[in-house]
Structure 1
Amino acid sequence: MPLSEHEQRMLEQMERALYAEDPKFASALEGTGLRTFTRRRVYLAVAGFLVGVALLMGGMIAKLVWVGVAGFLVMLICAVLAVTGWRKAGRPGDPAPPTAAVPGRGGRLGRHQPRKGKVMDRIEERWQRRRDQQGQ
């Protein structure tokens, strides 16, 4: 269930107050979210991919087909994990994803700025604004 605009404003005020009161604690909490976990998963997948390459090459050199096939499978699984994790992690400059995202807004709370070039996002944003205006 999405948060109302009033609840979103209250949550933002509480976040600002936390940063103002104890910035060290707030920054420590900020780094333990989903983004950090996803980045760690991507790095491990890249390392696993390199292990898969080593297994594939070792299997070819030792002429052991099963080692080469195992290496290829490790590479394939790690590549899929890395690509899916990379999409979830987001860019380093992006703000951290909110804890309670509003569906149809791309994970942004209370912001009425559609992403450029995304037609469906703009349509959903307009629909949400109309619904919010009728509810007031």
Structure 2
Amino acid sequence: MPLSDHEQRLLEQMEQALQAEDPKFATTMRGSDLRRQYVRRAVWSGIAFVIGVVLLMSGAITQVIPVGVAGFVVMLGSAWLGVTSWRRTPEATAEPEDVPDISPGAPRRQRRSSGRRQPNSSYMQRLEERWRQRRERGFGN
């Protein structure tokens, strides 16, 4: 649910007051770039995957089963972490018209509904779209 103009102005005023009062805390609370964090996590999981392969092969060559099993578990865990991190990585380059203008004076755009769902849309996005369409139609009236 989007914030009203009044709520957006209040939020901006609170952010500015926090920035003026304690800039170090405000910078800490703002957090780091999510894209950088997820890419870093994916790279580290790739390195861990290679270490897992080395452990697996070492266990197979030396016939020490616990080392091979540990290598397999490291490979499996790092592959899972890498794939989930890679999927969560936001797109770096967005077209200027795709970036919404959320400034207080910006006009609100209505999304077009094509009637058919997008191939990559999630379950929650489809539910939200149905709910929005139902509200626009007046709950079936």
Q: TM (normalized to structure 1)?
A: 0.55
- 1:36, CA displacement in angstroms? 1.4
Q: CA RMSD in A?
A: 4.0
Contact 2:48/2:75 (8 A) holds in 1: yes
Aligned partner letter, 1:46: G
Contact 1:112/1:125 (8 A) holds in 2: no
Question: Which range is displaced more, 64-73 or 83-92?
Answer: 83-92
Whole-Å separation in 2 of the counterparts to 1:43 and 1:79: 11
Aligned to 2:5: 6
Question: Which residue among 117, 129, 132 is the counterpart of 1:128?
Answer: 132
Stretches of structure 2 that go unaligned for 5 or more consecutive residues are 13-29, 101-107
Contact 1:5/1:110 (8 A) holds in 2: no
Q: Percent identity?
A: 36
Q: Deviation per CA, 1:9-52, whole angstroms, max 9, x where unpaired? A: 76xx9xxxxxxxxxxxxxxxx99322211111111011100100
Any residues of structure 2 matched to 1:1-136 within 5 Å, and which? 2-6=1-5, 32-94=32-94, 112=111, 116-117=118-119, 118=121, 121=125, 124-125=128-129, 127-128=131-132
Stretches of structure 1 that go unaligned for 5 or more consecutive residues are 14-29, 99-108
Q: Deviation per CA, 1:67-106, whole angstroms, max 9, x where unpaired? A: 11110000011011011111111333348xx9xxxxxxxx
Distance 1:89-1:119 versus aligned 2 partners, 3 A rule:
closer
Whole-Å separation in 2 of the counterparts to 1:76 and 1:89: 20
Which entry has the higher C-alpha Rg, 1 or 2? 2
Distance 1:129-1:36 versus aligned 2 partners, 3 A rule:
farther
SS at match of 1:80: helix
Aligned partner letter, 1:76: L
Whole-Å separation in 2 of the counterparts to 1:78 and 1:125: 35
Q: How many residues align?
A: 104
